[in-house]
Structure 1
Amino acid sequence: MILLRILLLPFSIIYGLVMAFRNMLFNRNIKPVTKVNSTVISVGNLSVGGTGKTPHVEYLLNVLSEKYKTAALSRGYGRQSKGFVKVDAGADVTNVGDEALNYAQKFEGKIEVAVCEKRVEGAEQILKDNPDIEVIVLDDAYQHRYLYRDCNILLTEFDKPFFKDYVLPAGRLREFRSGKHRADIVIVTKSPDALKEGQKNKFISKLNMNSRVPIFFSSIDYGKLINLQTKQEIQVPAAILLITGIGNPKPLIAHLEQHSKVTHLKFGDHHDYTIKDIEKIHKLFGNFASTEKIIVTTEKDAVRLLNSEVRNELQSFPWYYQAMTVKIENETKLIKKIYSYVKPNK
């Protein structure tokens, strides 16, 4: 692995330099940046996937929608459509993507949700359709700089922080670590629950952020196992077949293994499940010796499964998803900071 990384480093340097040159063009106003008539808050990361972005966007949408007319704008990763698409709870997942559909279903009637690969066009269309929108949350847009944002929230995972990583393809970073300096807020995700003050201070020191940038630590709060069909909740059984199509399933595996024997079948991030996939899963599940057994997936995967051709294939098997939210240390301080970006733009 180390040898492969060394071999790939020259390509990483080239890629990083291209991204640095691009950022310089934005910094010097050579590339255009468009400001819209609404507060824009971006949630993103320096790395590719796995930082727990989706639950943090949900958290932010929940906080903001309590006080402001809020919209979520995503590129709609993995969708088959192009251009601007307004997302409602009944949308086709192949046209809007799993994350946007998840937001629309969770916040139905409470926020506006849209997808558009061009963020400027998307934000302008949102405001054209609803001029009363006060804040737009950009999902995974840290490197998408054509749209001006009032607040950049940078996520980095506790066990895989950007300061230990390298630019693609040698590592998982989308740009050099210096990109951190565009952040207005940093959230360290998937932090251990019993993190001591000394550990936090050491981690903060390694982040080496400007002193004006507040740093928060968040952890995963796992909820109940919820049936995909009936929405009934159950206790964790003896045996679980875990199905994931997310960036980093390790924290979920560790959580479930506290109570169950877990067999994990991993698919790629944002995987589009086929009937053959489901047949493979059900065959594997049928070989389990335990009678106290279920199939568990993530909430994001559940959105895809329930809004695709495989939905009917699930009905005769015990499919559940793991509910989860995030806990933010110093939550009141974070919320106050977030609100401070919105108020001047009301």
Structure 2
Amino acid sequence: MRFVDFLLFPLALIYDGITSLRNRMFEAGLKKSQPFEVPTIVVGNLAVGGTGKTPFVEFLINHLSSSFNLAILSRGYGRKTSGYRLANEQSTPSEIGDEPFQVYSKFKEKVTVAVGEERILAIPMILAENPEVESIILDDAFQHRYLLADLNILLTTYKRPFFTDYLLPVGRLREGRRNVNRADLIVVTKCPDTLDLNEKNRFRKQISDYLVREKPIYFAGLKYGSPYPLNLGFSEPGDKFILVTGIVDPEPIRLHLEGKQKVVMETIAFPDHHSYKAKDMLRISEVYKKYATKNVSILTTEKDAVKLKDNKLLELVSNIPVFVLPVEIDMEQKEEEQLLKIIKSMIINKNANGEI
């Protein structure tokens, strides 16, 4: 723990008191949680950002949308609007948020996508417009306790698991470690390819130390696809990249590229959910010029690409090769099958009986 953390520790204690009081009020019934007839699945975490929620939501879409009519509901973090909005062809990242826009762009033929800060108000609105919806997946709603979800999936990263983290502002935890007990299952994300059974068992033991009763614990890595061009005129990237990101942690991407014998010449790391401006594109152009003679390409994430596609911004880098790196959740087949079986059974039973 850094010296500055000792100075911040009293603030963390105050924060803990506030969040603990709020949780106790829900547990005592002084604040009410609202259930819904439609099966609801929460994907969330104890920490702020960076646990891979969007790739995990996309993983669920890929594996569930062929069996169920799904809706995805997000707060729409970083958008410049408020209230309930249903994504459509005219939606933009600034209107619904970059991650919901990414999900809508990729899966609009498969799922309904909506945003709304007040989830218990947004859910009836989704169902009123789309009565065929059979289950709603809520992105980043673990702390939204006004909703009584049917299944809470908690994500925690391998690099910074909740059991080694601390409450804000010392660490990144939104609430205390023992609130992991609200989860129905836990997924350790961003695991390395080298993760073995002994390491999994170590993680299970350390997570279980905070659990009142046993819960399923799974492990997931990230699988990167082939980069595809963002702008016209370019087809294949070379082996050298300038990495441009507006995410919490670009390190896994850098490690992936190096593992593929690619060279990262420089990383331009913007804050998470960064809203790109013309000056940012000029900065990217200037960095590119330093390496232009070395057959270098710009590489960015899908989350960033949805904002860089803005015509006015894209014009500023129209002569630069910009590529997008897709990413997916990667799980061992047995664990994947077990996890999906739990989720599918919940949806089927709830829709058949009106309750779990």
Is TM-score (shorter-chain normalized) higher than 0.5?
yes
Q: 1:239 to 1:215 in 2, by over 3 A?
A: same
CA displacement 1:290-345 (0-9 Å, x = unmatched): 43210000110001111464132232210111111111221111110111211122
Partner of residue 344 from structure 1, selected from 337, 343, 349? 349
Amino acid at match of 2:99: E
Match of 1:182 in 2: 182
CA distance in 2, matches of 1:109, 1:57: 16
3-state DSSP of counterpart to 2:227: strand
Match of 2:224 in 1: 222
3-state DSSP of counterpart to 1:144: coil
Partner of residue 285 from structure 1, selected from 280, 284, 288? 288
CA displacement 1:170-195 (0-9 Å, x = unmatched): 00000010110000010000111121
Say whether 1:56 aligns with 2:56.
yes
Please show how residues 229-308 of structure 1 align to structure 2 within 5 Å.
229-230=231-232, 234=236, 237-258=238-259, 259-262=261-264, 263-288=266-291, 290-307=293-310
Asked if the contact 1:89–1:104 (Cα under 8 Å) also holds between the matched residues in 2, the reply is no
Q: 1:299 to 1:201 in 2, by over 3 A?
A: same
User: What is the aligned length?
Assistant: 345
Can you give the 5+ residue segments of structure 1 that lack an aligned partner in the other structure? Answer: none
Please show how residues 81-230 of structure 1 align to structure 2 within 5 Å.
81-208=81-208, 209-230=211-232
CA distance in 2, matches of 1:321, 1:133: 32
Match of 1:6 in 2: 6
What displacement does 1:60 show?
1.1
Amino acid at match of 1:250: E
* Most deviating of 287-296 and 42-51: 287-296
What displacement does 1:108 show?
1.5
3-state DSSP of counterpart to 1:285: helix
Normalised TM-score (structure 1): 0.96
Amino acid at match of 1:223: G
Match of 2:354 in 1: none
Normalised TM-score (structure 2): 0.93
Asked if the contact 2:231–2:314 (Cα under 8 Å) also holds between the matched residues in 1, the reply is no
Identity, in percent, stands at 39
Amino acid at match of 2:167: V
CA distance in 2, matches of 1:182, 1:231: 50
Can you give the 5+ residue segments of structure 2 that lack an aligned partner in the other structure? Answer: 352-356
Match of 1:325 in 2: 328
Amino acid at match of 1:247: V
3-state DSSP of counterpart to 1:224: coil
* Most deviating of 248-257 and 84-93: 84-93
CA distance in 2, matches of 1:88, 1:228: 22
CA distance in 2, matches of 1:40, 1:288: 49
Asked if the contact 2:231–2:318 (Cα under 8 Å) also holds between the matched residues in 1, the reply is yes
CA distance in 2, matches of 1:255, 1:338: 30
CA distance in 2, matches of 1:79, 1:233: 32
